[in-house]
Amino acid sequence: MEFKFEIEGGNFSKAGSASSEVKKILKQLNVNPKIIKRTVVSLYEAEVNVVAHAFEGNMNVDIDTDKIVVKIEDRGPGIPDIDQAMQEGYSTATPQVREMGFGAGMGLPNIKRNSDKMNITSKVDVGTELEIINYFG
Amino acid sequence: MIVQDIVEKLGLKVCSGANGLNREIEGGYTSDLLSDVMGNADENHVWVTLQTHKNIMAIASLKELAAIVLVKGYEPEADAAEQSNEEGIPILSSEEEAFELTGKLYEIINQAK
């Protein structure tokens, strides 16, 4: 089963809506609640990253009998140093974004903790591609 | 213990989501960093924060929190209140600061266990 959601850069009022749709689908499919919880945390963080840093993006969801594979691609500034971005507490978010309680440098580490596999590739001034895989078994 | 119980015991104002006052409370989390809450709060927790914008409802909904309690008399922004009504997850408000409020909540919730 494949689903595609658009993510609007800068629009915080919609942040989380794609993750919420995926959550509903996983619930309907009776996926183990623990795996739904983990997936929801990682997808929300990925979605917020696009909203906070990129111009626009997509969340492509592929649900199989044994796993969910989600690719989040964005058009944006990219990440120059992924190892640095993966460090807890490191963030390039603007002061306005931080005031809202985002940009604490916990997003990518949260994704890593809540996914079975995580692959991230990025090109500066082009965009970032993040793949999250969670197994149902 | 349900949300209505903490409303009564702590004299909280119900700002929105009154249709969710019978939600079960099993614990709580206090933080103003959204990713911290996303990563560490759990289902049926009551969340103490000073953030008032709509994204607190996205988190409450995704994590299936019992309720949000705003500190220092803060009120939710209009779109946050609207989503709270739609989803039946109450946003409450306390005149107290996070430290005092969290202490009282901790005591009440633990007594009920």
Domains, chain B, ranges and CATH? 3-112 (3.40.1390.20)
Contact A111, A44 (CB under 8 A): no
Give the pLDDT band (50/70/90) at residue A45.
very high
Residue type, A3: F
Q: How far is CA B88 from CA A8, B64, B85, in A?
A: 26, 11, 5
- Report whether pLDDT(A79) > 90: yes
Using one digit for the tens of pLDDT, what is the confidence trace for B57-111? 999 999 999 999 999 999 999 999 999 999 999 999 999 999 999 999 999 999 9
ipTM of the complex: 0.93
- Report whether pLDDT(A137) > 90: no
A interface test, pick of B33, B35, B86 with most A CB neighbours within 10 Å: B35
What's the mean pLDDT in B1-17?
Answer: 98
Q: Mention every residue, 6+ apart, whose C-beta is less than 8 A from residue B47.
A: B28, B29, B30, B31, B37, B41, B56, B59, B60, B65, B67, B68, B69
Mean pLDDT, chain A, whole residue set: 97
Helix, strand, or coil (residue B15): strand
Asked if B111 is an interface residue toward chain A (Cβ–Cβ < 8 A), one would say: no
Helix (H) or strand (E) holding B63: helix B55-63
How far is the alpha carbon of A32 from chain B, nearest alpha carbon, in Å? 15
For residue A17, the chain B residues in CB contact (below 8 A) are 58
Domains, chain A, ranges and CATH? 2-135 (3.30.565.10)
Share of chain A above pLDDT 90, in %: 99
d(CA B102, CA B48): 7
Whole-number pLDDT of residue B113? 81
- Report whether pLDDT(A85) > 90: yes
Is A15–B58 a contact, with Cβ atoms under 8 angstroms apart? yes
- Location of structure tokens 């969710």: B20
How far is the alpha carbon of A21 from chain B, nearest alpha carbon, in Å? 10
The DSSP letter of residue B35 is: H
For residue A15, the chain B residues in CB contact (below 8 A) are 55, 58
What's the mean pLDDT in A8-26?
Answer: 97
Q: Which of residues 20-49 of A touch B (CB under 8 A)?
A: 20, 23, 37, 40-41, 44-45, 48
Task: Give Cα A76 to chain centroid, integer Å.
Answer: 15
Using one digit for the tens of pLDDT, what is the confidence trace for A88-134? 999 999 999 999 999 999 999 999 999 999 999 999 999 999 999 99
Whole-number pLDDT of residue B47? 98
How far is the alpha carbon of B65 from chain A, nearest alpha carbon, in Å? 12
Interchain CB contacts (distance < 8 Å): A and B: 60
- Report whether pLDDT(A7) > 90: yes
For residue A22, the chain B residues in CB contact (below 8 A) are none
Using one digit for the tens of pLDDT, what is the confidence trace for B30-56? 999 999 999 999 999 999 999 999 999
